[in-house]
Amino acid sequence: MRWLGRLLFLALVWADVRASEGAEVFLGVTRSEVFRIPLGILYVVTPPDQAKYSSEIRTVLEGDLRRSQVFRVIHPPLVPELAGGETPSAELIKKAGRQDLQAAVWISFAQKGEELMLEGRVYDGKTGQMVMGKRYMGQAQHLRTVIHRFSDDIVFQYTGERGVAETRVVFSSSLTGSKELYLMDYDGYNVRKITGDRSLNLSPKWSPDGNWITYTSYRGGTPAIYTLDMATGRLSKTVGLPGLNISPAWSPSGGELAFASSRDGPTQIYRVDREGKALRRLTLDQSDNLSPTWSPTGAEIAFTSNRGGSPQIYMMNAAGTNVRRLTFSGDYNTSPSWSPKGVSIAYTCRVDGRLRICAISPDGATLARLTDGPGEDESPAWSPDGKHLIFSSTRLSRGDLFMMNADGTEMERLTFSGAKNNSPAWSP
Amino acid sequence: MRNRNQSFLLVIGGIGIALLLSGCPKKVETVRGTATVQEEKVTPPAEGMQPESAPMVEETLVGRDADASSIAKSLGDAYFDYDRYTIRDDARATLENNAHWLNGNPKARVKIEGHADERGTSEYNLALGERRAQSAKRFLTALGVDGSRLSTISYGEERPACADMIEGCYAKNRRVHFTIQ
Amino acid sequence: MVFVLSATGNIDEPKIEKSSGNAFFDQAALRAIYQARPFPPFPQGIQEPSLKVHFSFSLTEKS
């Protein structure tokens, strides 16, 4: 940031300020927003009796593409020739593309009985050439999934990285009176219950391959860590040391599980292998240490510790050595979550007595408070592409999940059940 | 002066971009040429739901030596200050009474539950509840109660005694609670 | 942002004079000022011991 110093220096030279009492200067800089590709859905072709699907397809796809942060969705005027239902020619696309469209989307959809077919094509708005085209087939009840798949393919086509529209979020909810785990699509739709033991089921986390959900459950009477195999529905007990077994977190390779246990008195961080064996204690201090989160390389772990007198975020390498403190601002910083891109650690910070979501760079140099407003926010979790955060908040209710961009903008509410919904985790 | 103005404005322009954080615009290449339409079957991933079941261990009050309700009255809750697990004076009195009862009923086994109010984050509150339970247990063993009769468990903020979002309720939730095994 | 810059290049606490409406952007601007410390001393010709600087950061939409 030496630039700012030099800027001021030059500004003062240029301003040629004369000696006087209380001199003031006015300066400024302007930054341009990151460019987003203008994209428009030109037409959705459906059989005449299935026209109702057209608006759902548009809404879902536009939402997915907007959230990807890659596209700016625009609504060009309808090109009447497209209403015929035939696949558009390059000339027609170029005509539509005159509305400054860079990506033009054309969709043909039909449902036959229990099956659907969605053909999605993306054209370059300037040349009219088709950039990608795919025909998706699936069950009728999976229409949203098909649209999400198309959106992720479009994002991949333009950036080389898949979008996250097909991903899911697991969370804990008090809807039934106890705390059960629920799954939902990344956009809040299709909420479905995945535990049903009427105990406390907390802190769910995904395995890196998305096949398991590991969580703390009181189903056996005391808090132990269980793993649910999503393919088979089989539940197994992974760790059951005396005392607390909480805040599980899989290493990025899926080979190790870090968690916190109070078997030795104060809560400490341990690791085990995926069979629950080879137990190793990582933290040695007589304070409380919990909520481990792995760096994307698996080399380091950030965690909460009150060894300094108040709960703060610390870092150590994955063997437990080289412990250093990361947060120095505020008296309550907990629940870290390391971005899959490695560049940022989101956590819950207490600001003016209220919990907020903050983010800090792993070197501690850059710190930002991301949320504000009524109520309190906690428990941030990253999307697998590192572009979004999901967290729980009491800003509008007893506790609901919200999604926002990594910079705190475009906040969107995801749950509306009226229960306390918290502890979200985003699938890979 | 004009050259100075220009270089100054250039500096501002250059700095404007260098100054602020994140998000260099990605260089996007539009793919030219005709692509062919591929086919793809879409099936969402399997989601093995857990069938509904009762918890494996039910918590019951077992009254062997005395009536269950009189036991519940004999062992009072002890309360804590915000973010603290040290025993305060009023808690001291309650725990001394509990120790007295326990010493008079040597067969009774007790579970000490540690709780926290809902402020603060849920995982940290589990650790805080655990500290409170262990703190109460240490206090009782120091008064002669055999530690093997006392088990501890933390419920963090998950089982509040009182649900309103006011200090009166919060104070009631920052507690250890005793149940007879 | 507004802050007072001394002849030696130190500043007092920068303050948000008018928020951009985006908390993250406000903080990025504050950080930019913090991280630019220490500033170089005043060039010759500027006599006063300190200067009150109003620095405006703006964000525009580029399509």
Q: Annotate B2-63 with three-state secondary structure.
A: HHHHHHHHHHHHHHHHHHCCCCCCCCCCCCCCCCCEEEEECCCCCCCCCCCCCCCCCCCCCC
Q: Which domains does chain B have, with CATH numbers?
A: 72-180 (3.30.1330.60)
Among B21, B24, B26, which would you mutate to test the C interface (most chain C Cβ atoms within 10 Å of its Cβ)?
Answer: B21
The tens digit of pLDDT for each residue in A210-245 reads 999 999 999 999 999 999 999 999 999 999 999 999
First to last CA, chain A: 36
The tens digit of pLDDT for each residue in C8-62 reads 778 877 888 777 766 667 777 777 777 776 777 777 666 777 778 887 777 665 4
Per the CB < 8 A criterion, the answer to whether A178 and A189 are in contact is: no
Three-state DSSP class for A53?
Answer: helix
User: Would you tell me how many other CB atoms lie within 10 Å of the CB of residue B90?
Assistant: 10
Half-sphere exposure of A35 (CA within 13 A, CB side): 7
| Structure confidence at residue A248 (pLDDT) | 98
Asked if pLDDT for residue C63 goes beyond 70, the answer is: no
DSSP-assigned beta bridge partners for residue A172: A181, A422
Least confident among A113-117, B88-92, C18-22: C18-22
Q: From the list C24, C35, C62, which residue is nearest A33 (CB)?
A: C62
- The ipTM of this complex is 0.88
Structure tokens that stand for B99 in this block: 């120790």
- Is the CB of A366 less than 8 angstroms away from the CB of B21? yes
Q: From the list C33, C42, C60, which residue is nearest A12 (CB)?
A: C42
Number of domain units in chain C? 1
The tens digit of pLDDT for each residue in A132-178 reads 999 999 999 999 999 999 999 999 999 999 999 999 999 999 999 99
- Enumerate neighbours of B (3 or more CB pairs within 8 A): A, C
Closest-CA distance, C21 to chain B, in angstroms, reads 16
- Is the CB of A119 less than 8 angstroms away from the CB of B47? no
Between CA A332 and CA A291 the distance in angstroms is: 14
Per the CB < 8 A criterion, the answer to whether A219 and B149 are in contact is: no
Compare all CA atoms of chain B with the CA of A380 and give the residue at the minimum distance: B121
The tens digit of pLDDT for each residue in A46-78 reads 999 999 999 999 999 999 999 999 999 999 888
| Structure confidence at residue C59 (pLDDT) | 65
Q: Which domains does chain A have, with CATH numbers?
A: 37-159 (3.40.50.10070), 168-426 (2.120.10.30)
Specify if C62 maps to a domain. Answer: no
- Is the CB of C57 less than 8 angstroms away from the CB of B20? yes
Asked if pLDDT for residue A88 goes beyond 80, the answer is: yes
Specify if C59 maps to a domain. Answer: no
Compare all CA atoms of chain A with the CA of C4 and give the residue at the minimum distance: A24
Burial of B141 (0-12, 13-18, 19+ CB in 10 A): middle
Asked if pLDDT for residue B100 goes beyond 80, the answer is: yes
Specify if C63 maps to a domain. Answer: no
Positive/negative CA dihedral, B10, B16, B22, B23: negative
| Structure confidence at residue B11 (pLDDT) | 39
pTM to 2 decimals? 0.80
User: Would you tell me how many other CB atoms lie within 10 Å of the CB of residue A160?
Assistant: 9
Closest-CA distance, A196 to chain B, in angstroms, reads 4
The tens digit of pLDDT for each residue in A288-343 reads 999 999 999 999 999 999 999 999 999 999 999 999 999 999 999 999 999 999 99
From chain A, the residues in CB contact with B44 under 8 A are 142, 145
Q: From the list A31, A198, A220, which residue is nearest B16 (CB)?
A: A31
| Structure confidence at residue B12 (pLDDT) | 39
Positive/negative CA dihedral, A242, B57, B76, B154: positive
DSSP string, A298-317: SSEEEEEE-TTSS-EEEEEE
The tens digit of pLDDT for each residue in A260-297 reads 999 999 999 999 998 889 999 999 999 999 999 999 99
Range of the domain at C44: 2-54
Q: Using a CB–CB cutoff of 8 Å, tell me whether A13 touches chain B.
A: yes
Specify if C61 maps to a domain. Answer: no
